[in-house]
Every structure is written in C-alpha cells, then in structure tokens.
C-alpha cells in the first residue's frame, strides 16, 4: 500500500525554484530518509505533503488523498514536526497532550506521558524554560503520541543529544514494525544509515537518487587490502576492472572496490595471497558524490520510485491540529 505518492510535483516561489518534478513513492511500514544539501527542497516537499503549500504543478497524495484539497483530513493521520519548531511559551508537555486529545477527540495523555518519560521530559515545565533540545522533544512526543499512520519529520534530530537520537530511532523503528510509515529529512548520514529502508536525495529541487539502502550500499565503494606472498608479486600483479589500485606497499595491495565483493574474492582466490580484508561500504563517499554539483557524481538512471501498487483510500479517524507549530 502506498502512503505517499508524488508525481512531477513542482513548486516555484515566484522566480525561485522550490522543487522540480519530484516523483516519490513511499510504502506502508517504510522508514524513508530524505536527504539533500541546504536549500535543495526537502522542507518544501514536506510542506507540500502536509498541504501547507500549494503545488505549482504535479500531484501529491498522502494516504490516498490529495495533499492540498484534502489537507485537513489527511492531517488527522499524520504526526508532523517542522524543521523550525515553534511552540507557545506557556505550553507544557502535559498541556500539549491534553489539547491534542481534545482536538483529536481521544485521549493521548497516557501514551504521551510514557513517551515524555522515554525522552526524559519534565511534563510540567513550560516551553519558555526549556532548552532547545527539550523543545524539540516536546514537538516529537506530540507528533508520536497518537501513533499516527504516517510520521513526517523535518530534520528531527536537530538539537537532540546522541542518547535522545537513539531514543527517537527506537520509537520510529517500533512504529514502522507495527506498519506505520516514517518519512524524515536529515543531514546526518549515520542516522540514515542505521534507520532507513529507503533513501531519496534531492539536489537543486530534483530527485537524483531514490533507492533502497541495500542497493546504495552495494553501489558504495569499499576499500580492500590484499596481502600477497611477496612484494615482487604485489608490484607486478594485474588487477581486475572492479578495483582501482590505491597503492602497492610491500606485501600489501591497497584497493578501492567499485564492483562486487564476491568477484574480488574469486579473483583473490586465484592469486598467491596470504590475506584479504574488505571494508564496509563507504556510503558517505557515495552521498557526497550525489550532493556534488560536479559532473563526476555517480551516473544514475532516472530515479525510480519504490511503489508497486496504486494509492489506496484509507478510512481516517481522529483529528489533527493544522498549525505547523503544533
Ligand atoms: N517562502 C519562500 N520564498 C521563496 N523561496 C523559498 C521559500 N521557501 C524556500 N524557498 C527556496 O526554495 C528552495 C528550497 O528550500 P527548502 O527550504 O525546501 O530547502 P531544504 O532542502 O529544506 O534546505 P535546508 O537543508 O537548509 O533546510 C531554496 O532555494 C529556498 O531559498
Ligand atoms: Mg529544510
């Protein structure tokens, strides 16, 4: 079941480019990471999905409904945290859950307080007395307390310490395991690597890659060290075209592997080797190439979205505040 579908989604701010012909498809239960440099169009895409912005052209649906025309309805099943969290100074976590419960017509206090405890929030401290990270946590627990079908988070770990980042990751994994969908933007590669099933990278308003993390890992370069029986063999050995030689140093051949590790292992087995070590995929190297404006970034077929089925029309219940600062 497709939870988010955008087709040729375009937003221009007057003459300024927001996003350009963005195709995305996010399935139920996925944790989807949305990456890109500053100004690439992440927040614009997210604001289009929430119905805070009207598209210049193209379509966007969430939970099978048009993001602009049915904005109020789809917000009922979304938990959202904006990139720049703004909360009323008098608000406390407890009051926030009470208000959210009244708006949604169901009690979210009990679940909210459990989340507040996990995030080590003082439930009765007003926002004006909170540190930035704690304000971020209030926004997060408020977005998660009603266990929405879709969680949309714009740079959610900004301001969170590493332990709280782990807590958030645990919460998101639990939601996804229960069939909920998570869409989040990020600049932090490690959280994307540890959390996401699928990643899209937006650059200058366009999607430049949209792949499962497993595929990206298989495409990312790795370093490999082949230890041979003598330095003479190392100096003379011809290497297959799935590697480039970084250095030939004594008995060691240092390689950058761009092809399959299995192929390298097979080649190495036919050589007079003593040892072979292959490093982890260097995703950071790959992502930096996608971020780059240079023409040497990885050659990529047109980005394909991950959906295989048609968007469905779910039965929504509950309600959600329309303010971004909620
Ligand atoms: N209200 C606006 N009016 C005019 N241009 C805007 C507006 N909001 C965003 N833009 C432009 O749209 C482009 C995409 O901005 P957006 O905020 O979506 O980027 P982003 O990927 O979220 O970046 P960041 O990582 O810095 O948060 C930028 O060029 C930005 O200047
Ligand atoms: Mg942004």
* Per-residue pLDDT tens over the stretch 278-293: 998 888 888 888 887 6
pLDDT at 188: 84
pLDDT at 195: 92
Q: Which of 22, 36, 42 to mutate to test the pocket of ligand 1 (most atoms within 8 A of CB)?
A: 42
pLDDT at 317: 31
- Which protein residue has the closest C-alpha to ligand 1 atom 14? 41
Domain extents for the chain? 2-217, 221-280
Q: Is the CB of 13 under 6 A from ligand 1?
A: yes
pLDDT at 323: 33
Name the CATH superfamily housing domain 2-217: P-loop containing nucleotide triphosphate hydrolases (3.40.50.300)
> 61 — phi, psi (to 5°)?
-125, 145
Q: Topology of domain 221-280, per CATH?
A: Alpha-Beta Plaits (3.30.70)
Q: Is the CB of 34 under 6 A from ligand 1?
A: no
Low-confidence stretches of the chain (pLDDT < 70) are 293-326
Q: Is the CB of 79 under 6 A from ligand 1?
A: no
Please give the model's pTM, rounded to 2 decimal places.
Answer: 0.84
């Amino acid at each position: 079941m497709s939870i988010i579908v955008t087709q040729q989604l375009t937003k221009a701010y007057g003459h300024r480019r927001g996003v350009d012909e963005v195709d995305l498809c996010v399935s139920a239960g996925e944790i989807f990471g949305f990456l890109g440099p500053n100004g690439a169009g992440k927040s614009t895409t997210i604001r289009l999905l929430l119905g805070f912005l009207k598209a210049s052209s193209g379509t966007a649906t969430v939970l099978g409904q048009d993001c602009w025309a049915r904005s109020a309805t789809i917000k009922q099943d979304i938990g959202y945290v904006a990139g720049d969290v703004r909360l009323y100074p008098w608000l406390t976590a407890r009051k926030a859950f009470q208000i959210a419960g009244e708006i949604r017509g169901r009690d979210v206090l009990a679940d909210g307080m459990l989340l507040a405890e996990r995030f080590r929030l003082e439930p009765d401290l007003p926002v004006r007395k909170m540190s930035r990270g704690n304000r971020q946590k209030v926004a997060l627990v408020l977005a998660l307390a009603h266990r929405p079908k879709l969680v949309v988070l714009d740079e959610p770990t900004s301001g969170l310490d590493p332990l709280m980042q782990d807590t958030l990751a645990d919460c998101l994994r639990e939601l996804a395991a229960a069939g909920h969908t998570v869409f989040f933007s990020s600049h932090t590669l490690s959280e994307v690597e540890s959390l996401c099933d699928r990643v899209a990278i937006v650059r200058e308003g366009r999607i430049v890659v949209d792949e499962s993390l497993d595929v990206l890992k298989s495409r990312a370069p790795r370093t490999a060290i082949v230890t041979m029986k003598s330095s003479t063999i190392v100096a003379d050995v011809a290497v297959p075209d799935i590697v480039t030689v970084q250095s030939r140093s004594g008995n060691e051949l240092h390689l950058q592997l761009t092809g399959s590790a299995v192929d390298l292992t097979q080649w190495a087995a036919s050589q007079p080797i003593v040892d072979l070590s292959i490093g982890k995929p260097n995703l950071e190297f790959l992502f930096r190439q996608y971020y780059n404006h240079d023409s040497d970034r990885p050659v990529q077929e047109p980005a394909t979205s991950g959906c295989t089925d048609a968007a469905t029309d779910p039965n929504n219940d509950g309600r959600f505040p329309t303010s971004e600062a909620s």
